[in-house]
Amino acid sequence: MGNLKIGIPQALLYYEYFPLWNNFLECLGVEVIISGPTTKEILDLGVKSAISEICFPVKVFYGHVMSLKDRVDYLFIPRMVCVEKNVYFCPKFLGLPDMIKSSLSSLPPLIEPTVDIRKSATNFENSFLAVGKLFTNNSKKIYQSFYEAQRNLKLYLKSKENELDQKIISQQYNKKLPQRDLKNSLNIALLGHSYLIYDYFINLNLISKLKKAKVNVLTAEMVKKRDIKRQLKKLYKPLFWTLSKKAVGSAFYFLEKKVDGIIYLTSFECGEDSLIGEIIRQESQKYPSVAYTEFVFDEHTGEIGIDTRTEAFLDMIIRRKKYESNYA
């Protein structure tokens, strides 16, 4: 049993649930194989394998599956439907296992638990119980593995929230800094789906570039859930997309805190982002002191263009802060 290898593509919901998936499978004695960071080769595999109409991140996912399929005994591709009442994942996530099986050949067997809390049989606990029974008949061990994995995921998310407390600096404090230190004081929120924020190949290493420019990079994971829920009450009607709720709630939070700027990352052909980006943009107009821009990524995005836009965005903020400090 210890020789079984389960492959997890390092794409899409990997960036949300990997601590849970990995800890659960390892506690059952299974060897977890990760496809690894996205590369040009993985992207090319995905673009060649996927249909042209799907969004860029799903094409990247296809590439990760292709890079894994000959190295593992199983592929772990959950069907994520609903993890919160009246809120759902993107339709492409709902059909992801089916899309992979219908488009790619010579695949190992897929482990594709359906996670849908609307039904008792497919809630998180029972879905993982069904997965565990593929490897052991010891229900106690499966439940223990699941609860341990769930605890580790909560600890991980809590650690990300705690990073925010020491990073948020008030605008009033920033204005008192000497002009030579203005760039060092920038707080920029980098928002969007986690598979865009943390896949350095997709976003062309944007986080590292911002940090190199001595910018404090803030992300949605640093905002407490209760603060996101509070911010979402500003909307006229509730959102019904799981990942978009986090993006909008955290964006409203950072706008309220008056950070220096927000960069919203989106991918070409993303249906959710065509609406979510506009909601955030309209809300940002209520906060003229907070700069806002959007970066759109696809397989043709060039690094020079993103570098130029990033530098221009930061320079614009610094120039405004200098002006404000001179006339404060």
> What DSSP string runs through 169-205?
--HHHHHTS-GGGTGGG-EEEEES-HHHHS-TTTTTS
Q: Is 179 helix (H, G, I), strand (E, B) or coil?
A: helix
Between 290 and 326, whose confidence is greater? 290
- pLDDT of amino acid 268: 82
Q: What is the pTM of this model?
A: 0.89
- pLDDT of amino acid 203: 93
Which option is the CATH number for 167-327: 2.170.120, 3.40.50, 3.30.250, 3.30.160?
A: 3.40.50
Q: Which CATH class is domain 5-158?
A: alpha beta
Of 37-51, 170-184, 296-310, which range is least confident?
A: 170-184
pLDDT band at residue 321, thresholds of 50, 70 and 90?
confident
Greatest CA separation for the chain: 72
Q: What is the mean pLDDT of residues 32-45?
A: 94
- pLDDT of amino acid 2: 52
Residues of the chain with CATH 3.40.50: 5-158, 167-327
Centroid of chain to Cα 135: 30
pLDDT in tens, 223-277: 999 999 999 999 999 999 999 999 999 999 999 999 999 999 999 878 888 889 9
Mean pLDDT of the chain: 87
Round to whole Å and give the CA distance between 108 and 71. 9
